[in-house]
Amino acid sequence: MKNAINSTHFDFPGQKEVYHGKVRDVYNIDDDLLVVVTTDRISAFDVVLPRPIPFKGQVLNQIAATFLNATEDLVPNWKIACPDPMVTVGRKCEPYPVEMIVRAYLSGSAWRTYKSGAREICGVPVPDGMKEHQKLPEPIITPTTKADEGHDMDISREKIINQGIVLEEEYEKMEEYALKLFNKGAEMAREKGLILVDTKYEFGKANGQIFLIDEVHTPDSSRYFYLDEYAERFAKGEKQKQLSKEFVREWLMANGFKGDKGQQVPEMTDEFVNSVSERYIELYEKITGLPFKKAEASNTMLRVEQNISDFLRAYRR
């Protein structure tokens, strides 16, 4: 656990600024490249939890790289290289201030909204009489605004366009891309015995072109069910076994934490931290079909810094 990366403070040649997000540390190199270090931080309810999760950053970065590579023929993406298991380097894009959330099942926050009596989610009608985890007639897009701090907020397609947050033509292209990506992700999940329940995508613009940015189909941005257990569990009204971060949210809620002001994060024991790490590794192996190879961790921070420095030197030649 001692070599899990909770934060980075590197200083690379050409570095203009660094942004520390909830999970990722993003280094701007000459307004040309973004060096994204996927740390082992974990967030839930838009709160960064106090303890990092060993190998979580490697899992997220390598799953995202797998899907970026698998979908680059469908949608242009920002990735250039992965010089370290925890790092992706890509083109710098101007991000759109919305996240595109695609849902194929009524789960998570969508179910909580529906259960409260709403029959529209982000302006999208949802049929009456549905149950938790039921498959929707077709995948829907329920966008949110992007918040640097605090909670992202649900918003409708109409408001995004009418308020000029994103131009209509560009928003329609993002919708098209999001559905293409979701369909490909769902197909890849089925091949591995999983159901892609919902996920989020972020897009940015560079040189007049829209690119997929950030992570793709990782357990931080997606929810997966086990295909072979889904129908029986749904018929019995049982909870679905899922590979996602939802189990962390459920643990927090069971321990009295929902991210509300004044609430304290419950103690994260070694046992709990290790169990979360194991779940992330399980998802990696399940979704990629490959054994997880733990990166050398005797001095993770030094390894990451050295690999990035070596890449940047070679890139400039």
Q: Do 22 and 87 fall into the same domain? A: yes
> From CA 119, how far away is CA 130, in angstroms rounded?
10
In sequence order, what are the residues at sequence separation of 6 or more whose Cβ sits closer than 8 angstroms to the Cβ of residue 209?
76
- What's the pLDDT score for residue 81? 98
Q: The domain containing residue 154 runs over which residues?
A: 95-244
Helix (H, G, I), strand (E, B) or coil at 151: coil
Residue 256 lies in a domain: no
Q: Does residue 172 belong to any structural domain of this protein?
A: yes
> And the tokens for 28?
């701007």
Structurally, how many domains does the chain consist of?
2
- Which residue type sits at 207? N
Residue 144 three-state SS: strand
Question: pTM for the full model?
Answer: 0.88
C-alpha distances out from residue 125 to 118, 149, 175, 268, 296, Å: 9, 29, 17, 39, 49
Walk along the chain (317 residues) and give the pLDDT tens digit of each residue: 568 999 999 999 999 999 999 999 999 999 999 999 999 999 998 899 999 999 999 999 999 999 999 999 999 999 999 999 999 999 999 999 999 999 999 999 999 999 999 999 999 999 999 999 999 999 999 999 986 555 678 999 999 999 999 999 999 999 999 999 999 999 999 999 999 999 999 999 999 999 999 989 988 889 999 999 999 999 999 999 887 787 898 899 999 999 898 999 999 999 999 999 998 898 899 989 999 999 998 899 999 999 999 999 999 87
Per the domain annotation, does 264 fall within a domain?
no
Same domain, 113 and 215: yes
Of 115, 63, 4, 84, nearest to 220 (Cα)? 63
Same domain, 85 and 111: no
Q: Does residue 165 sit in the same domain as residue 201?
A: yes
Residue 87 and residue 67 share a domain: yes
pLDDT value of position 2: 67
137 and 89 within one domain: no
Do 184 and 285 lie in one domain? The reply is no
Is residue 81 domain-shared with residue 119, that is, in the same domain?
no
